[in-house]
Structure 1
Amino acid sequence: TVASGTKMSNTVDATLTTKEEEAKKTTTTSNGFRAKKFEGDGFPFKAKLIGVEDLSIDRDEKICFDSMFKLKAVVRARGEHKQRIELNLTMSALKVIDDATK
């Protein structure tokens, strides 16, 4: 029984290795394709701007969430619509474009 269990585990390991190799090949091809999306004007994302606030620590998730909820509350209190923007993400920069003045 122990010998057959060992054979099964070897077979499974061989299968996983084959799948890992296929995944690496796919990842390499798709990474080359993915990188091309960020060339030139970049990859566009539609978004809504709720506000801007400088944070002392930008890596703390709680501080970021608190700031976001505070900015959302300000927009709701004013009764204004959020500003529609387009974010163009490139390998070297992030461009923010106002949809109204495009």
Structure 2
Amino acid sequence: MVIIEDGLEREATEEELKMIEEHENVEKELMQKNEELADLERILSESDYKIIKSYENSLIGKELEYDIEQLHIERQNMRDKINEVKNEVAKLKERLGGV
């Protein structure tokens, strides 16, 4: 791989090649984590209607269509996973700054 430094071309050293490869790997992992995060947030958002419908039914005294405790557990687990992935994304971004 050719590197241009101070207007001169030279071959990259082994160390530089390793750093470039590490940087590319971190960028790829970051992209995957961002996609995972978007999917998780979409899935959580798609279940919002169940909460709204359950709340609406409770306000008018109708029977709930969903097991609200199970729904809460599932949504909390999803929020926990989202927070976990957000932390992973932050760490990857830090690594990019240092790579």
- TM-score band by shorter chain is 0.3 to 0.5
Which one has more relative contact order, counting CA pairs under 8 Å at least 6 apart?
2
Structure number with the higher strand fraction is 1
What is the TM-score of this pair, normalised by structure 1? Answer: 0.38
